[in-house]
Amino acid sequence: MAVLLVARGLAALALAQASVVALAAQDPAAAKPPTPPPLAAPVDPVPVLDGATFARHWQHVVPSADEMAWRVIPWLGALAEAVVRAHAQDKPILLWAMNGHPLACT
Amino acid sequence: MATRRSVWSDEDVQRAARAFVPVADEVSRLQRDKEPDCVFFQGFCELGHYGGKTKPSNTRQGIYAVTPSGRFLASCNTRDADEVLAMLAKAKKAWDAMPPAQRRAADAALDPAAVRRFEQLRPTDGLVLRVYSRDLPRPKVTPGWRGQAWNQDHAWFRRDEMLAMVPAPEVGAERPFPADALLRLARVHLVDNVRGQTMAYGPQHVVAHRLVARTAALAGDVQSILFEGAVRIERTGTWASRGYGPDRPQRLGFDAQLLGAAKFDRKAQRFTEWRLLAVGMRHGATEFNGRQDDFGPAPMGVAFDLQADDAPAVAPSMHWAYGWQ
């Protein structure tokens, strides 16, 4: 019985080795990582961040009051909370559901 | 994200929304998981605009109106304010015509305490930041919403991480930002999500990261702190650079300077102001971040500031990359 198991194991090992050799022969590039495209030269100027430019960059990146007007609607952040509140207030639920939380990154 | 401006900033929509309890939530979890709020959503989402759809994806994202008992009223998925107004009117009409017994059950259909969410790990005694990302001004303006895009997220730091950001209370004292927290900030939050969702980096992609806190001034219990540093992130591999597109060899990264300022109340042991800005050149594209025509390198900024304590608790969008349990 033991001899049979060893023989089966050796046969399986030989088959696996043959398969690896065959695959490598078919696609020698398969083992190499893909070559990424080269990084292009920048067209836009590289920004400078220092004490003199901080306020300007900050004001540009952070949304204005006009851009945050959508938060006038008092959005809750979890459907379960809305169910409880709607039940208590006898109101229907307005659900805005997106891939990525709409109050975070969508 | 264009819906924020085109629909929810519309005053007529805002007026119509007063008749509802408004809530925003993440749809992938709602349509996939088995938590009570997910089962509640799954009870009506197939009656809506995307019911039965499987291609190009099975997403059920959109705008829904339902009763507190989960009865479907109306739905749509649009960036058009007039279409949303029509949907809300239809939903309100159906609600008004509904017998009170059908509007809601005797008890609320859900107990929020029974729902497991990452938001339960929000570090209320730590540091909760808002994060904003946007392209910096470029000589050639991208037309349409892509040129106006900005995005937002949240970044969380536990109390021990927050306290480790504070240098000694002596003017000129310096302290490196806690290493694990800085690595997480770079991997998860210095990403290009300006036009849409992207993927987090792995630790091996953060080629260089340095951020030093320095005590700039002391006034009573208030310690003024300045932050200065730099981060370089570079990832190569194979992935799609447009939605549902083929996988191709890619590179992705951000080479940024960091600068910021904060005020720490030593008596209360909490920050009362916190501003950090990352500015630099990003490059590359991912499947859903809308950069398929804009690989760069191009200038981008990411800003961090304190979130108000009473703001809705919303988890960092890639919270799984935090590794918190």
Pull the structure tokens for residue B57: 């994806």
Q: Is the pLDDT of residue A59 over 50?
A: yes
* Domain identity same for B63 and B137: no
- Among residues B114, B131, B163, the one where a domain terminates is B114
Cβ neighbours of A41 (radius 10 Å)? 6
B163 and B87 share one domain: no
Same domain, B194 and B53: no
A89: chain B residues, CB-CB within 8 Å? 21
Looking at residue B273, what is its pLDDT?
A: 97
The total number of structural domains that make up chain B: 2
Q: Do B22 and A101 touch (CB under 8 A)?
A: no
Size of interface A-B (CB pairs under 8 A): 283
Range B43-51 average pLDDT: 91
Give the model's pLDDT for residue B147.
87
B203 with B56, same domain: the answer is no
The answer to whether B95 and B73 are in contact (CB under 8 A) is yes
Q: Predicted confidence band at B140 (pLDDT cuts at 50, 70, 90)?
A: confident
Is residue B144 domain-shared with residue B91, that is, in the same domain?
A: no
pLDDT greater than 90 at residue A81 = yes
Asked if B135 and B62 sit in the same domain, the reply is no
Mean pLDDT of B202-208: 97
Residue B96 shares a structural domain with residue B140? no
- Last residue of one domain, picked from the residues B114, B146, B165: B114
pLDDT at A27: 55
- Minimum-distance CB partner of B301 among A60, A77, A105: A60
In this structure, are B308 and B189 located in the same domain?
yes
Q: Which pLDDT band holds residue A26 (cuts at 50, 70, 90)?
A: low
pTM score, whole prediction: 0.87
The band of A13, judged by pLDDT with boundaries at 50, 70 and 90, is very low
* Residues of chain A neighbouring B303 (CB-CB closer than 8 A): 58, 61-62
The radius of gyration of chain A from alpha carbons, rounded to an integer in Å, stands at 31
CA–CA min distance B179, chain A (Å)? 22
Together in a domain, B187 and B59: no
* Residue-number span of the structural domain to which B53 is assigned: 2-114
Residues B178 and B204 in one domain: yes
Answer whether B118 touches A (CB < 8 Å): no
From B122-136, B138-152, B209-223, B296-310, the region with the lowest mean pLDDT: B138-152
Distance separating alpha carbons of residues B181 and B165, to the nearest angstrom: 9
Give the model's pLDDT for residue A23. Answer: 44
User: Quick one: B193 and B54 in the same domain?
Assistant: no
Q: Which of A7-16, A88-97, B302-311 has the lowest mean pLDDT?
A: A7-16
Which of B114, B143, B173 finishes a domain? B114
Residues 6+ apart with CB under 8 A from B51: B45
Q: Could you report the predicted ipTM of this complex, rounded to two decimals?
A: 0.91
H helix runs in B172-270, sequence order: 179-184
For residue B146 the two structure tokens come to 């892509």
